[in-house]
Amino acid sequence: MVGRDLSDALAARDEEFVALTRSDLDITDSRRVNAVIGEHAPSVIVNCAAYTKVDQAETEENVANAINGSSVELLAASANTAGALLVHISSDFVFDGASRVPYDVTDATAPLSSYGHSKLLGEHAASHAEKYLIVRSSWLFGVHGPNFVEAIRNQIRLGTNPLRVVADQRGRPTYTPHLAEAILRLARLAHDSSVARGIVHYADADECSWFDFACAIAEESGADATIKPVTTDEFPRPARRPAYSVLSTERYERLTGVAPKSWRDGLREYLTLRH
Ligand SMILES: NC(=O)c1ccc[n+]([C@@H]2O[C@H](COP(=O)([O-])OP(=O)(O)OC[C@H]3O[C@@H](n4cnc5c(N)ncnc54)[C@H](OP(=O)(O)O)[C@@H]3O)[C@@H](O)[C@H]2O)c1
């Protein structure tokens, strides 16, 4: 999802880039990672690859750790050899969600799930690059992958009534083209100056619950759906989710001088593109 939107954003800006799919480069293959990075000699490497099946990770912890953790060590080592900046994407799931104020980049991490744990391993691995930028984001939706917006639209199409959606988890939905733009902006700054490196949060404005998000999806789609708020306990899933995973984007705003875009505007664009 993010990789394709990032490629589109780079193409639109006439930047020189190489976009690789899993079949071009399996990031768990150290020999290939070194060969491909050696061949292209990039000045910036953006790792959009990840194991993203949050619930499945509970039973596939080793696979999740290999892709989200160990592979990032390979990328960091290869970035150092190439003298490149490594940009790595991470997640709100590195936090436990016990806070009641937005998570800052310096706040302590404490993942609740195997997926969250694997993403934290990836952050530690990325920090072994001499030049690194970790962009944490949350609740992504975009046209190039399965996401919450599509799940809700499918339920509405199927006539599920009422539609039960969790109302006690809060976060910041983020439209992937908005994240792609933020990554480009941050990568440019981090490439040029060490002051802009380290961890940065980017998420769209403003915070809401999954229930609020579902209501907005129905409203913007012009669908006449009855949506019922439920609690996390009424909706058990294999992986525990943080109850409050609102990311503070203060550092992003300070570094770039730009405010995050609105997820509601992103949702409107998404629905237009889907039509
Ligand atoms: N989705 C969210 O809500 C969310 C929230 C916060 C952060 N993030 C993070 O954002 C980043 C991008 O997520 P996304 O939603 O764009 O994920 P996505 O759509 O699932 O894309 C992940 C890509 O990684 C590829 N991949 C998996 N294993 C690989 C390997 N060994 N080598 C090379 N490629 C591999 C996948 O290929 P296959 O499809 O062939 O497996 C897929 O194309 C990830 O780091 C994710 O953890 C996501």
How far is Cα 145 from Cα 110, in angstroms, rounded to an integer?
27
The finding on whether 94 has its CB within 6 A of some atom of ligand 1 is no
**Is 115 a residue of the active site?**
yes
Q: Is the pLDDT of residue 52 over 90?
A: yes
Q: Give long-range contacts, CB 8 A cutoff, 24+ apart: 253-261.
A: 255/186, 255/189, 255/196, 255/200, 256/182, 256/185, 256/186, 256/189, 258/185, 259/205, 260/178, 260/182, 260/202, 260/203, 260/204, 260/205, 261/175, 261/178, 261/181, 261/204, 261/205
Choosing from 51, 103, 115, 252, the catalytic residue is 115
Per-residue model confidence as pLDDT tens digits over 180-192:
999 999 999 999 9
Q: What is the mean pLDDT of the chain?
A: 97
pLDDT of residue 275: 83
Q: Is the CB of 243 under 6 A from ligand 1?
A: no
Give distance in angstroms: CA of 222 to centre of ligand 1. 31
Q: What are 215's two structure tokens? A: 């209501």
The answer to whether the CB of 26 is under 6 A from ligand 1 is yes
Beta-carbon contacts of 160 under 8 Å, excluding residues fewer than 6 positions away, are: none
CA atoms within 13 A on the CB side of 68: 26
Per-residue pLDDT tens digits for 190-244: 999 999 999 999 999 999 999 999 999 999 999 989 999 999 999 889 999 999 9
* Eight-class DSSP state of 247: B
